Amino acid sequence: MLFLLAMLSAGLYGYSRSGHARTLAMNRINAAIPGTLSAGQIRLLAEGALLRLDDIRLMDAKGNFCLAFDSLRLKIQWRSLFDKVLEISLLQIDGLTLNLIEDATGRINLVNALTAGDDMPEDSPENDTSRTGLPLNVKIQTAQITRGALSFSDPENTVDVGSLNVSVTEVDLQQMSGAVSIDVGVSHSPMRQQ
């Protein structure tokens, strides 16, 4: 049994480094969303359950840039899933750039790039009392965003955050506990002229 598990792990590790795996993943994702996602590399690394994504770009359906990051590292403790706990020991995003634009109807381009209009629920989640919570608990030991930048525009204002660093530690969503540290540097926030 251990031999089969080792062979499966080695096969997944090798396949994750092939161009075919990246192309297949990108084609499946792009078929499911209105926007376009591109990736430089997608790797499943041998050191535990570590997933690494490099050079990720998301464009909305009109071809406008929404989101990019240089690298994302995600390490999940798979055994905890048997106990209905998604345990993330590391989530690190480096070089995150968000370009959020709200249109006149109040929709944001990032949401439009990931969901089609008919995918949106009719009722707001606050009014839906049929669900009592997540089907599993989520625990995050460490999450970081480094070298981030954010731009938000609506029909009247634009805000640019030139420097964004976020650190999250010891999060337990079921217990609603954890620590968050945010370092923000606002470059400018001019008012648009009508």
> For residue range 97-140, what is the model confidence (pLDDT) as tens digits?
999 999 888 889 999 898 876 555 555 555 555 556 667 889 99
Looking at the domain assignment, is residue 124 inside a domain? no
Looking at the domain assignment, is residue 123 inside a domain? no
The torsion of the CA quartet 123, 125, 129, 132, rounded to 10 degrees, works out to 150
Token pair of 67, please?
A: 């989101």
Looking at the domain assignment, is residue 125 inside a domain? no
Looking at the domain assignment, is residue 104 inside a domain? yes
- Is residue 176 classed as helix, strand or coil in its secondary structure? coil
Looking at the domain assignment, is residue 31 inside a domain? yes
With cut-offs at 50, 70 and 90, classify the pLDDT of residue 62.
Answer: confident
Q: By residue range, what is the domain housing residue 183?
A: 2-118+134-188
Looking at the domain assignment, is residue 63 inside a domain? yes
Looking at the domain assignment, is residue 55 inside a domain? yes
Strands 85-94 and 97-101: unpaired
Looking at the domain assignment, is residue 22 inside a domain? yes
pLDDT at 47 over 60: no
Q: Provide the domain count of the chain.
A: 1
Residues with Cβ within 8 Å of 156's Cβ and at least 6 positions away in sequence, in order, are 191, 192, 194
- What CA–CA distance (Å, rounded) separates 2 from 86? 24
